[in-house]
């Protein structure tokens, strides 16, 4: 072959290899664990790139699960698409291996020399086998299955295939050995986000999962059905229900192969005293009182911080917001814009129930609490720019409760949200409008929030209705009296007219 032809042949060979390499994930063999993790991220990077789950105003467990189901459905659609593409690419590259799915596992199907001790009914030396290598039926598993298919394809093409522990399934059985919870936790985050979109909301949820597992499950405990159930059943009430939910996610993420047989406890919510309007207004003044009476501080950032937390208090009271809805990418420009004539607050899409524009439940408190004062907003903006993770947001949320205690407020931040729900009912705002404004469904509004509608608020509601009825009755009587007076005057006028005619 001439030099030119040799170069051409080398170029063709390089092009062919490059073409085939573009068809499969570039993850084999990774040089380091860091490279492997980077390759894995590349493989999953665009799964949720164009995915936007349907927005929901349901902040309950049902609403959260609806979002999770939508995400899982999208993930499954991507998996099925890539599964078909993988087999198409194998066929195009003339790799005599097919990937197939059986339940939650992937196998490699290929015609191979007879397995030791096996015989062909047709007397042939080869037979079709489904090789189980312990590969899960998910995108990460599909990536592995593609790599293994090309590797097996090479052995078949070169007639060098031999039955070893790997292809006999011995290694896959070893992989299924039960691990301890602590070992699984090391890869929990990576596996969790292989099937989920990474957002501020999902990061917050995952941080809670990790915290619950570390606080309640001994990390040296084997991840078995009996151990999970034993620990869960040692608790009661909300604690038990939380462990059931978190454990179920953990078990599903690692495909541990069992389902928990535990029963959720029915929990009756404890009674809470929701603050009245005058209590909310008087508590607002406690922030400045605290600032005037506290010891001097030399920390510049701490001198005026109380003003930002007082602003946060006023916003929670006026709009019924969830605390984190003030810290997740707050649209301060819109809040201060002259075009915002209705004084609405825009909640960012990366929050519990997504984007919404909130109308103030008590518009006059915007001026009373000086909520458009630029000074606390500048402090907020400065703090928000330092937010690097969902943990920072959680710290700020916890700081609200800490400041409530510090200045002497006798109720909790979330009680201001409950107060808005009750106030809306007393104001006669339609339930659907109030629920949308608070960012939850009508069902959530009536079932969850109305349970705080105590006897005093019921008295108010009855009193207002009775007062309205009394006012209507009074107006009816006044109208009737005026009609009677008109009739009397009309009769007198007719009498006078008759007398003049006579």
Same-domain pairing of 323 and 227: no
Instruction: Mark whether 417 is an active-site residue.
Output: yes
Residues 297 and 418 in one domain: yes
Work out the widest C-alpha separation in the chain, in whole angstroms.
143
Indicate the DSSP class of residue 122.
T
Residues 285 and 397 in one domain: yes
Q: Decide if 409 is inside a domain.
A: yes
Domain presence at residue 3: no
> Could you tell me if 153 and 249 lie in one domain?
no
The active-site residue out of 67, 143, 196, 322 is 322
- Domain stops at, among 212, 238, 253: 253
Report if residue 460 sits inside a domain.
no
Query: Helices 61-92 and 139-157, interaxial angle, to 10°?
Result: 10
- For residue 498, is it within any domain? no
CB environment 94-106: b (16+ within 10 A), e (fewer) = ebebbbebeeebb
- Is 380 within 8 Å of 372 (Cβ atoms)? no
Determine whether 440 is an active site residue. Answer: yes
Q: What domain count does the chain have? A: 3
The reply to whether 425 and 304 lie within a common domain is yes
Q: Which domain holds residue 415?
A: 277-453
Residue 311 forms part of a structural domain = yes
Cα atoms in the Cβ-side hemisphere of radius 13 Å centred on 211: 9
The answer to whether residues 124 and 99 belong to one domain is: yes
- Distance between CA 361 and CA 342 in Å, rounded? 12
Q: ∠281-284-285 over CA atoms, to 5°?
A: 105
Indicate the residue among 453, 476, 497 that finishes a domain. Answer: 453
355 assigned to active site: no
322 catalytic per annotation: yes
Do 109 and 139 reside in the same domain of the chain?
yes
Backbone angles phi, psi at 50, to 5 degrees: -105, 15
Phi, psi of 263, deg, nearest 5: -115, 130
Residues 56 and 123 in one domain: yes
In this predicted structure, what is the pLDDT of residue 359?
Answer: 94
Same domain for 167 and 232, yes or no, is: no
Q: Which of 192, 193, 209, 449 is catalytic?
A: 449
| Catalytic-residue membership of 266 | no
User: Do 171 and 207 fall within a single domain?
Assistant: no
> Domain for residue 299, yes or no?
yes
Residue among 310, 352, 356, 418 flagged as catalytic? 352
Task: Decide if 495 is inside a domain.
Answer: no
Residue 39 lies in a domain: yes
Q: What is the pLDDT along the chain (502 residues), one digit of tens a residue?
A: 444 444 444 333 333 343 344 444 443 333 334 443 444 445 555 666 566 665 555 555 565 666 677 777 888 888 899 999 999 999 999 999 999 998 888 999 999 998 888 877 777 888 899 998 888 888 888 999 999 999 999 999 999 999 998 888 776 555 556 789 999 999 999 888 887 777 777 888 888 899 999 999 999 989 999 999 999 999 999 999 999 999 999 998 888 888 999 999 988 766 677 898 999 999 999 999 998 887 765 544 456 889 999 999 999 999 999 999 999 899 999 999 999 999 999 999 888 888 899 999 999 999 999 999 999 999 999 888 887 667 778 888 889 999 999 999 999 999 999 889 888 887 788 888 888 899 888 877 777 666 665 545 545 544 444 455 555 666 766 787 778 778 778 877 777 776 776 6
CATH code for the domain of 310: 1.10.443
Q: Show which of 120, 154, 175 is a domain's final residue.
A: 175
244 and 295: one domain? no
Whole-angstrom distance, CA of residue 363 vs CA of residue 347: 18
Both 418 and 393 in a single domain? yes
Give CA torsion, residues 315, 347, 436, 275, to 10 deg: -20
Cβ neighbors of 120 (< 8 A, separation 6 or more) are 114, 126, 127
Query: Catalytic pick from 196, 417, 425, 445?
Result: 417
* Res 70: pLDDT: 77
Write b or e for each residue in 27-44: b if 16 or more Cβ atoms lie within 10 A of its Cβ, otherwise e.
beeeeeeeeeeebbeebb
């Amino acid at each position: 072959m001439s030099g030119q032809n040799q170069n051409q042949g080398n170029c063709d060979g390089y092009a062919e290899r490059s073409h085939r390499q573009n068809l499969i994930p570039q993850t084999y063999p990774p040089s380091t664990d860091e490279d492997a993790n980077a390759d894995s991220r590349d493989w999953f990077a665009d799964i949720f790139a164009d995915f936007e789950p349907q927005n929901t105003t349901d902040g309950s467990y049902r609403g959260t699960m609806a979002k999770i189901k939508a995400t899982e459905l999208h993930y499954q659609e991507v998996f099925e698409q890539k599964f078909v593409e993988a087999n198409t690419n194998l066929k195009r590259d003339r790799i005599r291996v097919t990937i197939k799915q059986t339940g939650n596992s992937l196998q490699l199907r290929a015609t191979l020399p007879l397995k030791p001790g096996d015989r062909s009914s047709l007397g042939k030396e080869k037979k079709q086998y489904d090789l189980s290598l312990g590969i899960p039926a998910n995108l990460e598993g599909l990536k592995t299955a593609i790599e293994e298919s090309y590797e097996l394809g090479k052995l078949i093409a070169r007639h060098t295939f031999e039955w070893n522990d790997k292809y006999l399934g011995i290694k896959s059985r070893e992989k299924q050995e039960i691990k301890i919870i602590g070992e699984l936790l090391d890869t929990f985050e990576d596996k969790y986000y292989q099937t989920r979109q990474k957002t501020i909301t999902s990061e917050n949820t995952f941080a809670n999962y990790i915290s619950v597992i570390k606080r309640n499950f001994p990390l040296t405990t084997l991840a078995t059905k009996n151990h999970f159930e034993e620990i869960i059943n040692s608790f009661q009430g909300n604690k038990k229900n939380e462990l059931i939910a978190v454990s179920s996610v953990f078990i599903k993420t690692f495909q541990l192969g069992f389902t928990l047989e535990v029963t959720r406890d029915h929990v009756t919510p404890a009674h809470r005293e929701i603050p009245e309007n005058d209590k909310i207004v008087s508590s607002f003044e406690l922030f400045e009182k605290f600032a005037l009476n506290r010891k001097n501080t030399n920390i510049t950032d701490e001198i005026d911080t109380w003003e930002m937390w007082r602003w946060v208090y006023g916003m929670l009271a006026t709009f019924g917001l969830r605390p984190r809805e003030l810290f997740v990418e707050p649209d301060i420009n819109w809040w201060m814009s002259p075009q915002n004539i209705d004084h609405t607050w825009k909640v960012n899409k990366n929050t519990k129930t997504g984007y919404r524009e909130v109308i103030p439940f008590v518009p006059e408190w915007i001026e009373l609490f000086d909520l458009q004062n630029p000074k606390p907003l500048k402090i907020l903006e400065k703090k928000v720019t330092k937010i690097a993770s969902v943990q920072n947001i959680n710290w700020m949320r916890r700081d609200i409760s800490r400041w409530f205690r510090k200045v002497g407020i006798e109720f909790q931040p979330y009680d201001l949200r409950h107060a808005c729900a009750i106030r809306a009912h007393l104001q006669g705002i339609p339930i659907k409008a109030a629920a949308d404004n608070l960012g939850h469904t009508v069902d959530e509004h009536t079932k969850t929030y109305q349970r705080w509608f105590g006897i005093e608020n019921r008295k108010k509601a009855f009193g207002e209705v009775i007062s309205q009825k009394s006012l209507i009755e009074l107006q009816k009587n006044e109208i009737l009296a005026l009609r009677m007076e008109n009739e009397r005057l009309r009769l007198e006028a007719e009498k006078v007219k008759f007398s003049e005619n006579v």
